[in-house]
Structure 1
Amino acid sequence: MARDPDPGNEAMMLFRSGCAIAALICATPALAQTPSQAELAELVRAQAAEIAALRTRLDRLEGARVAASQPAPAPAPVTPPVVMAQTPSQTGGNVTSPFAPQLVPPGPAERDVAQARQANAAGVTTEWGAGLPVFHSADGIYTFKPRGRILTDVSSTFGSDYAARNITTTGMRALRLGLEGGVGTHFFYQFESDFSENEVDIVTAFIGWRNRIAPGIDYDVRAGHLFNDRGFEGSTGSDSTPFMERTVVSTAIIPQRGFYGVGIMPRLFWKTGHASLTVTGDRIDGNQSGNDSRTVLARAHWNPIKTANSVLHLGAWGFDEGLAAGATTLTRNTVIGGRFNGALRVSSGALTGGTGTTGYGLELGGYVGPVWLMGEAGQRHARLDAGRPDFVSKAWSLSGGWFVTGDLPPYNPRLGSFGQPRVLRPIFEGGPGAIELTARYENLDYSDLLTGGQGWAATLGANWYLNSFTRFQFNVVHWNTDNRAGAFVGPDDGQTVMTRIAVTF
């Protein structure tokens, strides 16, 4: 290939051309001695035209040489497409994913090792999940997602023999704001605060580490302010429960410290179940003037049947709690017909002198297609001082639901609990959303104490999921209580109607 002339050679050519013209004039006697004005003018015009053409070419070559010496401009950045993990229903394979395809993709703090590695390797910058995006750094190392939930309730009770129980109230079941994220494949974190009831309450707050032991066997370890892994509905978040309030098994067979405690929780996951062990002190309270109570809690669940549209769930859990010297009051007043009616409770009566508690429970249920069923039962033994016998609390429940729109129940086989559903036909895309009809019976018995009451409730409900993070709930509860102490003694029954608007992101 011929090379372009060097700009320096072009300049030399221009100089030589001028010299040649001058020499021609000098070497032609007639032209040198007696040139006419017209001839001289024509000669000058020809020389000027040649010089102008050579200068133009010289400028063009000089510009090309300067451009070649500069670094090439960087190509325009190209944003890669968002890469989401395929579900078994998308790939046509067997159900091997730890998360069911009817669940929304898990956030950074709930992914397994393979999902975290895939998200990092994808190099995505934004991944839209439920309500809010998951952000990834350009190098794929850092992951971040805002979190929140808004649960707004209205409750009305009527039919009670006590006028003080027949009230209508409103409340925020949850008003949370938080974040979660990860660094690399293994490290993750989560933090949430709740602002309901005009108070700021730290709820979930932990850091964690996850890894893979062998194909199909993972683990993670969390440390911080931890939510209990206890029972089916007791392990389900308030934004994912199929009813507006958890069962009495979850709310009564519980450590004295409640649903949260500061400590550590290692968890082991395999293809058909999981197991966890939790060791905690008290929940966050800002009181460091004495010892914390100590709680050890364990749970395991197993799915002996797990197909594309059916699951059998078996679970067991238990805890043991040693109470600190300042936490000896064991009085219980447990919700039976709605959270926002403070007069509607099953009461144990005043109980002091506790030294510790031990509780345990069983879970049995599952789903086939759009129909699910779950039974739970548990007992709690409260140890008392001065040689008094234990106070035994007993509770059980039977719950079920049917998605009339054909959606699968939002069962999470990795954790053995309910999660956020992936709605097949959201109303924002022209579909009907997901419509679920529910029913439950629950029974609570504190009558082992002379001052202890008992009660039961039957609930009919409907849930309308507009999409994966927005839903309306409606519950009608027929309740019955028989308290032996407090302001509402003796048999009483009535009805409570409740509704909720919920947004989770």
Structure 2
Amino acid sequence: MRKNYLAGAALSALLFATPALAQSTPGDQAELIKLLKAQAEEIAALRARLDRIEGTQAAAPVARAATAATAAAAPVQQAAQVRRADVANDETISGSFAPQLAAADLADQTVAQARALQNVSNVTTEWRGGLPIFRSADGKFLFKMRGRIINHVNSTFGSNYDARNITTTGARALRIGIEGAVGPHFFYQFENDFADNTSDVGTMFVGWRNDVGKVSYDVRFGNMFNDRTFEGSGGSDAPPFLERNVVATSIIPQRGFYGIALMSRLFWKTGHTSFTISGDTVDASQAVNDSRTIMARAHWNPLKSDRSLVHLGLWGFDEALSSRGPGTLTRNTVIGGRFNGNLRVQTGTLVGGTGTTGYGAEVGGYVGSLWVMGEAGQRVAHLNAGRPDFESKAWSLSTGFFVTGDLPPYNPRLGTFAQPRVLRPVFNGGPGAIEILARYENLEYSGIPTATKGEAATIGTNWYLDSIMRLQLNLIHWKTNNRAGSFTGKDSGQTISAGFGITF
């Protein structure tokens, strides 16, 4: 009699809870889940007692009731898991669905995304992007480690110079860092890079973000990466090729990719703009005045849907070199693989610079799995003593296609490529994402006695095992015509480059 009463009580609780689960709010559902779990545990304990007293057969109705209670809770638990997954994957970027975009960094989220991530119920540790996010119980504090490992090997052949026909290896990036947030508005990030046998501070900033009507903004201060050109605005893990194109690597301030800066960014549904004023990098000499750089970039997506997009972009910078510095304008630009130091487009030693001005444009987009991107830029470097300006011109056209049907990893919030969201990862039994690539790029330095030029055509493939791991292969046919250095005159050859990258 008592066992029938217990089974009936469990079933009554189940019948009472089922419609409530269907109609309750997410907060109520969480409480109901707790109640059902507690009931299931209590029933299981009663079952154990009945097993000992009367045998397993008598406890069968109670066991069935416990199983039914657990099954009833499953849909709500699954719904909660889906909500957590949606937050973790950051599916909504600037109010639009972007299934091709992997999870955004904590520092690149909107205020709404930051609030949603902090409000995930009963989760204080969550695996996301290969590493756990730690969250305080009240959701106010978030903290996450971050890192990047990108290793390359390349082999050059066909050059007229034997010293260029070499095989080398190197680390494109060996980074470790942290990022976090306090509430939905304040965020920070720090990274250190150990590549090239040196230890350098990379990204290092604190920031504040907020919404104003239908737009949002953030303000950052620290050692920051340039927002300049399409491929030059993303990290070393973002470009689809093993090395950024010549627009990103040559139409650049003399200080390089980083600088201690104050950067403000404004975002709206179809684009963004940024404005930056910076000095030298955090690792620069502090015995002389910093150079000063003012930089701006804007991108616009006039057409955007779930599976297609048009990208337009403009950018520019003006740099005043320190009057007490060396004023060096020497350029040695990668053209056929980063890790062959003899294979560069070289100007030879060039000093006496007073400042540089650069600008450029971006146009491209994607339809389904096919993407195309073109960009061009020009830099004018001013020399002292009445000498003519040193000019740099570069352009690039590239394309790619995902044969596995995945979408290009375009970030509509920042107007650049990012980590992909692989639909069928290898580690889940799928093929991963396979991409085939092609690019042509051209670079010319003029206005100086050692004027030079170079060009390269690249074909390649990427195999993304999942959203954080990739294998890459590039075959590059290059040409140079240097008038300075050890490798002068017309030269051409081929370079095979391969790499493995993981970003977490």
Q: State the TM-score bracket (shorter-chain normalisation).
A: 0.7 to 0.9
Q: Choose which of 295, 313, 316 in structure 1 pairs with 2:314.
A: 316
1:342 — aligned with what?
341
Given that residues 98 and 414 in structure 1 are in contact (C-alpha distance below 8 angstroms), is that contact kept between their aligned partners in structure 2?
A: no
TM-fit CA distance, 1:287: 2.3
Q: In structure 2, what residue type is equivalent to 1:282? A: D
Given that residues 90 and 103 in structure 2 are in contact (C-alpha distance below 8 angstroms), is that contact kept between their aligned partners in structure 1?
A: no
Given that residues 244 and 500 in structure 1 are in contact (C-alpha distance below 8 angstroms), is that contact kept between their aligned partners in structure 2?
A: yes
Distance 1:107 1:186 in 2: 14
Residue 95 to residue 446, structure 1, CA distance change in 2 (3 Å): closer
1:172 — aligned with what?
171
Q: Deviations over 1:450-499 (max 9, x none)?
A: 20210100000100000000010000000000011110110000000000
Alignment of 1:72-471 (within 5 A): 83-84=83-84, 86=86, 97=95, 100-123=98-121, 124-215=123-214, 217-285=215-283, 287-324=285-322, 325-471=324-470
Q: In structure 2, what residue type is equivalent to 1:360? A: Y
TM-score (norm 1): 0.81
Does 2:470 align with 1:481?
no
**494-503 or 121-130: bigger deviation:** 121-130
- 2:181 aligned counterpart, secondary structure: strand
Distance 1:90 1:277 in 2: 25
Q: In structure 1, what residue type is equivalent to 2:267? A: F
Given that residues 350 and 451 in structure 1 are in contact (C-alpha distance below 8 angstroms), is that contact kept between their aligned partners in structure 2?
A: no
Distance 1:486 1:95 in 2: 48
2:494 — aligned with what?
495
Distance 1:447 1:480 in 2: 17
TM-fit CA distance, 1:110: 1.2
Distance 2:476 2:362 in 1: 23
Distance 1:323 1:240 in 2: 30
Distance 1:377 1:298 in 2: 16
TM-fit CA distance, 1:234: 0.3
Distance 2:94 2:498 in 1: 37
Q: In structure 1, what residue type is equivalent to 2:124? A: T
Distance 1:82 1:138 in 2: 20
Distance 2:125 2:469 in 1: 21
1:39 — aligned with what?
none
5+ long unaligned stretches in structure 2 = 1-76
Given that residues 370 and 403 in structure 1 are in contact (C-alpha distance below 8 angstroms), is that contact kept between their aligned partners in structure 2?
A: yes
- 1:304 aligned counterpart, secondary structure: coil
Given that residues 132 and 144 in structure 2 are in contact (C-alpha distance below 8 angstroms), is that contact kept between their aligned partners in structure 1?
A: yes
Over aligned residues, Cα RMSD in angstroms? 1.8
- 2:465 aligned counterpart, secondary structure: strand
**338-347 or 131-140: bigger deviation:** 131-140
5+ long unaligned stretches in structure 1 = 1-78
Residue 254 to residue 210, structure 1, CA distance change in 2 (3 Å): same
Q: In structure 2, what residue type is equivalent to 1:463? A: N
Given that residues 326 and 351 in structure 2 are in contact (C-alpha distance below 8 angstroms), is that contact kept between their aligned partners in structure 1?
A: no
Given that residues 305 and 311 in structure 1 are in contact (C-alpha distance below 8 angstroms), is that contact kept between their aligned partners in structure 2?
A: yes
Given that residues 218 and 265 in structure 2 are in contact (C-alpha distance below 8 angstroms), is that contact kept between their aligned partners in structure 1?
A: yes
TM-fit CA distance, 1:97: 3.0
Residue 227 to residue 95, structure 1, CA distance change in 2 (3 Å): closer
TM-score (norm 2): 0.82
Distance 2:246 2:332 in 1: 11
TM-fit CA distance, 1:448: 2.9
TM-fit CA distance, 1:321: 0.2
Distance 2:100 2:125 in 1: 22
TM-fit CA distance, 1:127: 2.7
Given that residues 293 and 327 in structure 1 are in contact (C-alpha distance below 8 angstroms), is that contact kept between their aligned partners in structure 2?
A: no
Distance 1:397 1:434 in 2: 25
Which aligned runs of 4 or more in structure 1 are off by greater than 6 angstroms? none
Q: Deviations over 1:118-152 (max 9, x none)?
A: 11222431232211122211000001111001001
**Paired residue total:** 423
TM-fit CA distance, 1:441: 0.1
**163-172 or 280-289: bigger deviation:** 280-289
TM-fit CA distance, 1:95: 8.2
- 2:114 aligned counterpart, secondary structure: helix
Q: In structure 2, what residue type is equivalent to 1:374? A: M
TM-fit CA distance, 1:115: 0.3
Distance 1:98 1:184 in 2: 24
Distance 1:461 1:187 in 2: 40
Distance 1:112 1:122 in 2: 16
Q: Deviations over 1:275-330 (max 9, x none)?
A: 00011000012522110000000000000000010010000000000000214010
Distance 1:166 1:194 in 2: 29
- 2:196 aligned counterpart, secondary structure: helix
- 1:139 aligned counterpart, secondary structure: coil
Distance 1:225 1:139 in 2: 31
Distance 1:381 1:470 in 2: 39
Given that residues 316 and 359 in structure 2 are in contact (C-alpha distance below 8 angstroms), is that contact kept between their aligned partners in structure 1?
A: yes
Residue 293 to residue 286, structure 1, CA distance change in 2 (3 Å): closer
Given that residues 354 and 382 in structure 1 are in contact (C-alpha distance below 8 angstroms), is that contact kept between their aligned partners in structure 2?
A: yes
TM-fit CA distance, 1:437: 0.2
Q: Deviations over 1:172-215 (max 9, x none)?
A: 00000001010001000000000112211100000000000113
Distance 1:105 1:95 in 2: 10
1:73 — aligned with what?
none
Question: Of the two, which has the highest radius of gyration?
Answer: 1
**Higher-helix-fraction structure:** 2
- 2:303 aligned counterpart, secondary structure: strand
Residue 99 to residue 105, structure 1, CA distance change in 2 (3 Å): farther
Distance 1:82 1:179 in 2: 27
Given that residues 85 and 115 in structure 1 are in contact (C-alpha distance below 8 angstroms), is that contact kept between their aligned partners in structure 2?
A: no
Of all paired residues, the percent bearing the same amino acid is 64
- 1:230 aligned counterpart, secondary structure: coil
Q: In structure 2, what residue type is equivalent to 1:126? A: T
TM-fit CA distance, 1:429: 0.5
Q: Deviations over 1:46-68 (max 9, x none)?
A: xxxxxxxxxxxxxxxxxxxxxxx
